[in-house]
Amino acid sequence: MEVIFATHNKHKSKEIKKLASDVVLIRNLNDIGYETEIPETGTTLKANALEKCQFVKRSLSSPVFADDTGFEVDALNGAPGVYSARYAGEPKSDKANLQKLLREIQGKADRRARFKTVICFLKDDEPLFFEGVVEGKVIDTPKGAEGFGYDPVFIPDGYKQTFAEMDLELKNKISHRGKAFEKFVKYLYENYSK
């Protein structure tokens, strides 16, 4: 079975293709020449993942899945949350988002935060959802050159390194996206494996 990943992100595609290659053929939007801009107007991660799936599914016959990820900081009432990618406004900028986050959290004692990923899978009309969460804290000074987004200021519980200091294999093993993909791949194995 062929499944379309509603993303242009090559890094995310490579990760999931590796996990599910012996069960289904996963192709991303670049693989199929799909260039249309996909809207993200939802106010929750779940709503955005569903919107992306439904939008792409309208023009394709293959099953589709999409993900949305947010970074939630307790001291900021869960912000940036669903707006993580555009926290500092347009155009999207990881650097500007990080700078804004550090300004907003400055002087706050509560540093609890989490990354959350929601995957939506749409084969027929009924969507299925898979969620992954990793808890941790925000630090004041970015550390590490790996990763992207808020990775340089996030230390997951039980570790001393930021996501940006970790090698990719370790990060994928413990990350929010890794946990959500693991649940999704388990579902594919159980339902589509020969």
Residues 126, 148: Cα–Cα separation, whole Å: 33
3-state secondary structure at position 70: strand
> Are the CB atoms for 53 and 120 separated by under 8 Å?
yes
Q: Which of 22, 31, 68, 74 is catalytic?
A: 68
**CATH class given for the domain over 2-192:** alpha beta
Annotated binding residues for Mg(2+), as ranges? 68
Which tokens sit at 79?
Answer: 């912000």
> Please, what are the averages of pLDDT over each run of 10 residues along the chain (194 residues)?
88 78 86 89 95 92 93 97 93 93 96 97 93 97 90 97 91 89 90 72
Q: Whole-model pTM? A: 0.90
Annotated binding residues, as ranges? 7-12, 68-69, 148-151, 171, 176-177
Annotated binding residues for substrate, as ranges? 7-12, 69, 148-151, 171, 176-177
Q: What is the pLDDT of residue 76?
A: 97
CB-count exposure of residue 61 (10 Å: 0-12, 13-18, 19+) = exposed
Residues 104, 187: Cα–Cα separation, whole Å: 39
Q: What is the pLDDT of residue 194?
A: 53
Q: What is the pLDDT of residue 119?
A: 97
Query: Buried b / exposed e across 104-128, counting CB within 10 Å, b at 16+?
Result: ebeeeeebebbbbbbbbbbbeeebe
Whole-Å CA distances, 172 to 62, 141, 182: 27, 23, 10
Q: What is the pLDDT of residue 50?
A: 96
31 is catalytic: no
> Are the CB atoms for 136 and 152 separated by under 8 Å?
no
> Are the CB atoms for 62 and 192 separated by under 8 Å?
no
Which tokens sit at 135?
Answer: 């808890």
Per-position DSSP letters for 113-145, written without gaps between them: EEEEEEEEEESSSS-EEEEEEEEEEE-SS---S
Closest CA to 73 of 139, 163, 160: 139
Whole-Å CA distances, 136 to 31, 107, 111, 123, 145: 35, 18, 8, 34, 19
Query: Would you kindly state where each structural domain of the chain is located, as residue ranges?
Result: 2-192
H or E segment to which residue 156 belongs: strand 154-156
